Chains A and B, each alone.
Chain A
């Protein structure tokens, strides 16, 4: 999963040493700073130390799964691969956010043979740039994946570049005990959601927990509103830069959001998602729109009390069947040291064996392979898998569906600006559109 989960992990992605290390040594600090920033191309990134090219029984894996549970799962899956194929995997684990921030340098340097990454624009981008290897022949040997997963693994040229491993849906999460206590019903339309929110306010709850200090959580709200109001195709086109942000359709998304803001926890810009999730856990909030990883903020005993529903319908002609469900998976480096071994590894990673190991060891994720034995799923996992299975269209999340430069340098400040001042939507959208034109034409 892609999000900072702990304070420590959040802090771990701090200033690069090139910037943080300068004290007053040089009067030319500004110059040196500029130089150091330029020098990021020279930063080592996160290359592998495990050179194993000559050994035909070895392959390397660059993993961003730095949290203890997923890290343990990866190790177990690799053990399984070694048992079945006799090939030793050198795992190069890098802190999740560091991995993400260094990905450009990493892929252009000497990446590991196989590396963890996401589907969506971020995958197609590297495929188009020639920084990832074609795995279409591996897909020929895989079974158990739905067409949705195959589409999500396909680049612009029609070839596959990703072997999906896991995914998680975004939905409105709530505590069963709280809803039972007050007698709340799951809303299926926007009006019902508003009524429910008003009732929760009367009952002294913050209806919808909300946090956007880190900039990305509000993208989830934008995504789901856009999917509900304008549908999947418009969302995809908007993300691809083909639709104008100044259109009435986008304006309607922000107007609807503005109408829902009073139901959201106030002062979201100073809150981390963990804090918002804890307000749900402490029964101070009624519901929370987030990914399945929200469950990490609940103790094992409370897992059964956690439930969710998909965001209600806004336009009956659009329905409520589309949702964000980001897919994580594995990709092949452009020039793997041992292509045969790397492909064997990818085939194993896409197999039911690997999926079964994951199911057994990690209760916070859903495996992508449909033939995997999912009897070990918790009730929450089962329901999440059903929700995604019944979805007509699956989006990947805003920062995976559009250019990373647009998402991080334009959309994040813009959404935060909207939350600060929800009144001036048209000015904001003009600003986004101007920047979008500049970025997408470059």
Chain B
């Protein structure tokens, strides 16, 4: 809040030549700002503002607007026909992949939250113990996050392929890991978790390194066990990191896209909202209006989580 008066003062004073005596306290504060300062401040406000409005808000609002049209991506904007809520009713009523997509997104969230994130945190705690070769484990576990998307898709294709894959060769079965719609979502969740664990581990490890060692020492002096030290002392101290981890998990599951797209473009049991949007908007199909309706639904779902997060954080700040 401290920068607000500065900006007000800036607007209130028409020229830098204004005298300090006539304006009292405000003017005195203004004198602290040279011409350069004001240019810098203006730029620092304007540039991000333009970027956020131009790259985030305008496209988002345009998406919402387009979701009420049947535009096919060709021709001038003046020729776009308004169809009202038809795209939304189509999505809900006659578009079979929609319901599985919502279910899969929720499943994704639950799996990352309940399984992958705790494993990542657990690994971070283990690595924080400075065990032998911890750097090696750290690198190995983080590797999936660094690998390119194409490579990850290829690696898992080699493992999961029904006829030629590693998994069926080792197990001697003929499970159709990618083709069977009851199985493939779990197979993909394993792959997604594989990446997510490494990501969370690194985030959490960075946080753990920042915990004041004297806290642990104090806990040890008081005779606390390893477990209770972690849960009673370290974990509460790590609150900011915990929130980041939580947010990252939610975002990762909402924007989950790449793996299913690599595997089968988000069809046949692997429907995700993001993949459906891409199927409809990107590429030859060009159902811009229909895809925008899906994107808007995704936006609304994201907004729910963002609002929850922001209210929590702001409430914390006020305390």
The interface of chain A, by Cβ under 8 A from chain B, is 7, 11-12, 14-16, 19-20, 22, 24, 26-41, 100-105, 108, 122, 129, 131, 213-215, 266-271, 275, 278-279, 404-405, 407-409, 412-414, 416-417, 420, 431, 434-435, 438-439, 442
Q: Taking chain A's interface residues, is the majority helix, strand, or loop, or is none over half, making it mixed?
A: helix
Question: How far does the alpha carbon of A417 sit from the alpha carbon of B72 in the complex, in Å?
Answer: 26
Which chain B residues border A267 with CB–CB below 8 Å? 162, 174, 176, 179-180
Q: Which residue of B lies closest to A31 (CB)?
A: B60
Cβ of A275 to closest chain B Cβ, rounded Å:
5
Q: Which residue of A lies closest to B310 (CB)?
A: A27
Asked whether B298 lies within 8 Å of A33 as measured between CB atoms, the reply is yes
Cβ-Cβ contact count across A and B, 8 Å cutoff: 208
Cβ of B104 to closest chain A Cβ, rounded Å:
14
Q: What are 13 pairs between A and B in contact, CB < 8 Å?
A: A11-B150, A14-B258, A15-B258, A19-B257, A31-B56, A37-B63, A38-B295, A41-B73, A213-B264, A271-B179, A275-B161, A279-B163, A420-B268
Asked whether B55 lies within 8 Å of A32 as measured between CB atoms, the reply is yes
Asked whether B296 lies within 8 Å of A409 as measured between CB atoms, the reply is no
Question: How far does the alpha carbon of A105 sit from the alpha carbon of B74 in the complex, in Å?
Answer: 8
Q: Which residue of B lies closest to A408 (CB)?
A: B285
B215 touches A (CB below 8 Å): no
B110 touches A (CB below 8 Å): no
Asked whether B55 lies within 8 Å of A35 as measured between CB atoms, the reply is yes
Which chain B residues border A11 with CB–CB below 8 Å? 150, 153-154, 262
Q: Which residue of B lies closest to A28 (CB)?
A: B56
Asked whether B56 lies within 8 Å of A35 as measured between CB atoms, the reply is yes
Question: How far does the alpha carbon of A229 sit from the alpha carbon of B55 in the complex, in Å?
Answer: 52
Interface residues of B in 133-166 (CB under 8 A from A): 149-150, 153-154, 157, 160-164
Which chain A residues border B251 with CB–CB below 8 Å? 24, 27, 29-30
Q: Taking chain B's interface residues, is the majority helix, strand, or loop, or is none over half, making it mixed?
A: helix
Which chain A residues border B242 with CB–CB below 8 Å? none
Question: How far does the alpha carbon of A215 sit from the alpha carbon of B271 in the complex, in Å?
Answer: 14
* A31-B299, A129-B74 known, 15 other contacts, Cβ within 8 Å: A7-B157, A14-B258, A28-B302, A31-B303, A37-B278, A38-B66, A38-B292, A40-B281, A101-B283, A215-B267, A270-B161, A409-B280, A413-B268, A435-B90, A438-B86
Question: How far does the alpha carbon of A7 sit from the alpha carbon of B262 in the complex, in Å?
Answer: 11
Q: Mark B170-208, 1 if CB is under 8 A from A, else 0.
A: 000010111111001000000000000000000000000
Q: Mark B288-299, 1 if CB is under 8 A from A, else 0.
A: 011110011011
Cβ of A118 to closest chain B Cβ, rounded Å:
11
Question: How far does the alpha carbon of A269 sit from the alpha carbon of B178 in the complex, in Å?
Answer: 7
Q: Which residue of B lies closest to A122 (CB)?
A: B284
Question: How far does the alpha carbon of A267 sit from the alpha carbon of B184 in the complex, in Å?
Answer: 12
Interface residues of B in 286-319 (CB under 8 A from A): 286-287, 289-292, 295-296, 298-299, 301-303, 306, 309-310
Cβ of B182 to closest chain A Cβ, rounded Å:
9
